Amino acid sequence: MTTVKAGEPTDFRFTVTGPDGKPVTGYQVEHDKKLHFIVVSRDLASFQHVHPDMSADGVWSVKLTLDDPGAYRAFADFTPTGGSGLTLGADLLVAGDYKPQPLAQVARTAEVDGYTVSLAGDLVPGQASKLTLSVSKDGRPVTDLQRYLGAYGHLVALRAGDLAYLHVHPEESVKAGPEITFYAEVPSGGDYRLFLDFQHDGKVRTADFTAQAGAGQPKPAAEPSASPSHDNHPH
Ligand SMILES: [Cu+2]
């Protein structure tokens, strides 16, 4: 268990230990990076997606500031060279007066920095569910999204309650918006938090949603299950 001081930049360091008991130093690049590091508060109100640097001996480090007291969960999402994708988690604690936020209500739109992002599609337990996020600003579709980490958007999905980390696969697109399409596989019904990173005008922004899986009508079995051309890589 790691403790961090509220509001102070911390040089956060960690290693990934391999089956041989030694720090892993070989990683495959996925979405432009060898390792993606996600930090969320346990109440799923705050979210950070950062990219630590690794030294030759396999020690990762990243400047991290956790603004508010409370419990946080960090996820390292990576693929060791020659292996398959892994997500490892660790708890971080920030001492102080903790005011947990209630889970945001289920919503189809999110506002961030003057952008409106709308969500189409439903999470369906046990199958790849197509989610389309559309970005607009001042009522106009944004059609000049910028590539960030090799794609026009990155989506992280976490299950409320146990913070299960879900792998979401982007659909390859040559169109720079307004729509960004993903396939998310949720294992169960219930509430999920979705965090979309997208870049426009040189800045990365995060739009967040609460979505409920299994809330709509069950899909008829006859519906063709399109096999998306997704890869097996995380988010
Ligand atoms: Cu990343």
CA of 156 to the centre of ligand 1 (A): 10
CA of 97 to the centre of ligand 1 (A): 30
What per-residue confidence (pLDDT) applies to 174?
A: 82
What per-residue confidence (pLDDT) applies to 159?
A: 96
CA of 219 to the centre of ligand 1 (A): 32
CA of 141 to the centre of ligand 1 (A): 25
What per-residue confidence (pLDDT) applies to 216?
A: 56
What per-residue confidence (pLDDT) applies to 172?
A: 83
Which tens digit of pLDDT belongs to each residue from 88-134?
Answer: 999 999 999 998 999 999 999 999 999 999 999 999 999 999 999 99
What per-residue confidence (pLDDT) applies to 215?
A: 64
The secondary structure of the chain, three-state, reads CEEECCCCCEEEEEECECCCCCECCCECCECCECEEEEEEECCCCCEEEECCEECCCCEEEEEECCCCCEEEEEEEEECECCCCCEEEEEEEEECCCCCCCCCCCCCCEEEECCEEEEEECCCCCCCEEEEEEEEEECCEECCCCECECCECCEEEEEECCCCCEECEEECCCCCCCCEEEEEEECCCCEEEEEEEEEEECCEEEEEEEEEEECCCCCCCCCCCCCCCCCCCCCC
Tokens describing residue 4: 């961090």
CA of 33 to the centre of ligand 1 (A): 7
Q: Give the chain's residues under pLDDT 50.
A: 217, 219, 221-223, 225, 227-232, 234-235
**% of the chain beyond a pLDDT of 70:** 91
Tell if the pTM clears 0.95, that is, is over it. no
